[in-house]
Homo-oligomer: A and B are copies of this chain.
Amino acid sequence: MGSLQSIERLSLNQITTESWSLREAAEGCARAGIPWISPWRHKVAETGLAESRRLIQGAGLRVSSLCRGGMFPAPTAAEREARLEDNKRAVEEAAELGAEVLVLVCGPSPDRDIDRARGWVTEGIEKLVPFAREHGIKLGIEPLHPMQAAERSVVVTLGQANTMAERFEADDVGVIVDVFHVWWDPELYGQIARAGKRILGFHVSDWIVPTPDLVLGRGMMGDGVIEIRRIREAVEAAGYEGPIEVEIFNRAVWDSPGGEVLARMKERYLEHV
């Protein structure tokens, strides 16, 4: 197993430095020599779309993805239409920022009927695809950890995401592999191979033990139990050679100075990814 020899594929998923504005994140990456960034829409909205683009380009960064579209299920047709409209805005923002991929966090079910909600996800993607294609944006279905099935995503395994993605052209819809969400899955390596060229993104962090929180409990790479390198090598064997995002939801990380977080992130990336 070989370590990565440079940080040329390293991307800051902006949630990792949640306390930073987009300007601070872009400038921080430039200072740290991190070549990629994945902005979040609430940060882009804060700064303004055109200004966000200017800041990212000015810092010499490339955009690995935009986080996030999705959240398709809703109890009424009108509400689902509103979600679709919001996803179209997300596609436009992704195109404007120079991202190739919009990450989809597909959303929870509004009630106990999880199968119906899963159907709404497929419908939502189906309606979004032509618009995304026109804008040159691929949609990346990100399966979330099953512990977030009730609050964030009814798509919870890579196998399920693959099955959904395969309903569409590989140029339009793929999957995002985030080690935190999928590491526990007995079918992980088979599903990574199956995803193949549909892998549109690879996210790293770690699963710390004991796990302090369902959402804010992610660790820096090396602080937990995930076989990150093994998964990275499997993703590469499947054909993915794109950017690798560090995406950490963790209060202690968020409360640390951003420059320190980026320095630790680079070190741990070379050591553990």
Number of interface residues of A (CB under 8 A): 30
Q: How many copies does the complex hold?
A: 2
Interface majority SS (helix, strand, loop, mixed), chain A = loop
Of B109, B147, B186, B227, the contact of A147 (CB 8 Å cutoff): B147
Whether B147 contacts A214 by the Cβ 8 Å rule is yes
Q: With A118-B186, A186-B156 in contact, do A150 and B211 touch (Cβ < 8 Å)?
A: yes
Q: How far is the CA of A159 from the CA of B185 in the complex (A)?
A: 11
A137-151 residues with Cβ-Cβ distance < 8 A to B are: 145-147, 149-151
Q: Tell me if A50 is interfacial: C-beta within 8 Å of chain B.
A: no
Of B118, B147, B151, B226, the contact of A146 (CB 8 Å cutoff): B147
Q: Tell me if A45 is interfacial: C-beta within 8 Å of chain B.
A: no
Give min CB distance, A191 to chain B, whole Å: 12
Q: Tell me if A14 is interfacial: C-beta within 8 Å of chain B.
A: no
Of B113, B157, B159, B184, the contact of A227 (CB 8 Å cutoff): B113
Q: Tell me if A225 is interfacial: C-beta within 8 Å of chain B.
A: yes
Contacts of A157 in B (CB 8 A): 185-186
Q: Tell me if A2 is interfacial: C-beta within 8 Å of chain B.
A: no
Give min CB distance, A227 to chain B, whole Å: 5
Q: Tell me if A207 is interfacial: C-beta within 8 Å of chain B.
A: yes
Whether A211 contacts B214 by the Cβ 8 Å rule is yes
Contacts of A149 in B (CB 8 A): 183-184
Contacts of A184 in B (CB 8 A): 114, 146, 149-150, 156
User: 1/0 per residue A220-235: CB within 8 Å of B?
Assistant: 0000111100000000
Whether B160 contacts A186 by the Cβ 8 Å rule is yes
Interface residues of A (CB under 8 A from B): 109, 111-114, 118, 145-147, 149-151, 156-157, 159-160, 183-187, 207, 209-211, 214, 224-227
